Amino acid sequence: MKGFAMLGIGKTGWIEKERPACGPLDAICRPIVLAPCTSDVHTVWEGALGDRHDMILGHETVAEVVEVGSLVKDFKPGDKVIVPAITPDWNSIEAQDGYQMHSGGMLAGWKFSNFKDGVFGEFFHVNDADGNLAILPDGMDPVAACMLADMVPTGFHGVELADIQFGDSVVVVGIGPVGLMAVAGAALRGASHIYAVGSRPNCIQIAKEYGATDIIDYHNGDIAEQVIKKTGGKGVDRVVIAGGNVDTFAQAVTMLKPGGRIGNVNYLGEGEFIKIPRIEWGCGMGHKIIAGGLMPGGRLRMEKLASLMSTGRLDAGKLVTHRFEGFDKIEEALMLMKEKPKDLIKPVVVIKW
């Protein structure tokens, strides 16, 4: 079978591989909709995961089941499914402890395009099909549903990590696709003021549609100062970090009230340390909790988030700004992600077999 792969750091290309084998609990699927992710870009061109050779990329897809293992009960060939980016080993110690995304080791619930071939192949392998696939609901647009693989659960997890409560004021740093889902998630969790940090006009427009009440543009000065000014010196209850870098945390701590929480879902690709400013963190005593975590995956998570789309609470389809047709367009879509033109939020590739 064909797959679009990382050949080595900085290099991509089409390769031939054997179709993956299906264990007793597994499924083999083929993609219907695919989306490249900024992580794929980091993986290839920044070597974020270290070197990988001939590893098929991709971890965002809606797909069709083509084969299932002998112990799979709830899925069969022909089923259309949402496939989460994170596919845990559910019986692992870590999953039993509530941290399925770290099953088998920190971040090791993330398998596609990390420890094994990803979804940019004619076929791909899903471990524990019953535990990790979710039926695409009747009538749901698979293009919008493809955002459930990573963008929605990651953005929403930022909201969960920040533990937003009714009426909280919230800053969302970064309004790329994950940040926009954090804005939508914050609104859907009962935030009042949502200060969205970003500057691209397209993203600002969508951020407002998802519930941002104020836009903070870093071109206008330090974002912490802007937030503090806008809140009359008080700062905000919660900060979700969905963009920036290791230095963003200093701003986040500064703009946060005592008793506040930071929820980070931004993959920090470089820098040795995240630096927490001592004074602003209350000399260690300010109750400004700093949390950061990989999205939870698996079947239930997909079903729950899909239900928000089927009941009209969330329209994740708005994220999709560019649409390609045909399996061979994966390369073009990924390159677009790499170049990141101003009007891009998220590209998808739609496949007809």
Task: Select the residue interacting with a copy of itself from 246, 317, 323, 331 (CB under 8 A).
Answer: 246
Range in contact with a copy of itself (rule: CB under 8 A) among 50-58, 88-96, 115-123, 345-353: 88-96
Report the half-sphere exposure of 301 (CA within 13 A, side-chain side). 25
Near a copy of itself in 4-63, by CB under 8 A: 23-25, 48
Nearer to a copy of itself, 169 or 226 (CB): 169
Task: Select the residue interacting with a copy of itself from 32, 34, 57, 95 (CB under 8 A).
Answer: 95
Nearer to a copy of itself, 294 or 351 (CB): 294
- Closest distance to a copy of itself from the beta carbon of 320 (Å): 21
- Closest distance to a copy of itself from the beta carbon of 287 (Å): 4
Near a copy of itself in 165-204, by CB under 8 A: 165-169, 185, 187-193
Q: Match 């500057």 to its residue by tokens.
A: 199
Name the phi and psi angles at 333, rounded to 5: -65, -40
| Distance from chain centroid for Cα 187 | 18
Near a copy of itself in 258-297, by CB under 8 A: 258-259, 264-278, 281-294
Distances (CA, A) of 339 to 63, 129, 157, 173, 332: 26, 35, 27, 21, 10
Near a copy of itself in 132-171, by CB under 8 A: 132, 156, 160, 165-169
Cβ neighbours of residue 218 closer than 8 Å, sequence gap 6 or more: 197, 199
Instruction: Calculate the CA dihedral of residues 309, 205, 322, 330 and round it to 10 degrees.
Output: -80
Nearer to a copy of itself, 3 or 87 (CB): 87
Q: With contact defined as beta carbons under 8 Å apart, do 129 and 135 qualify?
A: no
Rounded CA-CA distance 205/207 in Å is 5
Give yes or no for residue 231 binding a copy of itself (CB under 8 A). Answer: no
Q: With contacts defined by CB under 8 A, how many residues of the chain interact with a copy of itself? A: 90
Q: With contact defined as beta carbons under 8 Å apart, do 75 and 65 qualify?
A: yes
| Distance from chain centroid for Cα 318 | 15
Give yes or no for residue 254 binding a copy of itself (CB under 8 A). Answer: no
Task: Select the residue interacting with a copy of itself from 10, 71, 76, 325 (CB under 8 A).
Answer: 71
- Closest distance to a copy of itself from the beta carbon of 15 (Å): 27
- What sign does the CA torsion over 41, 26, 29, 153 have? negative
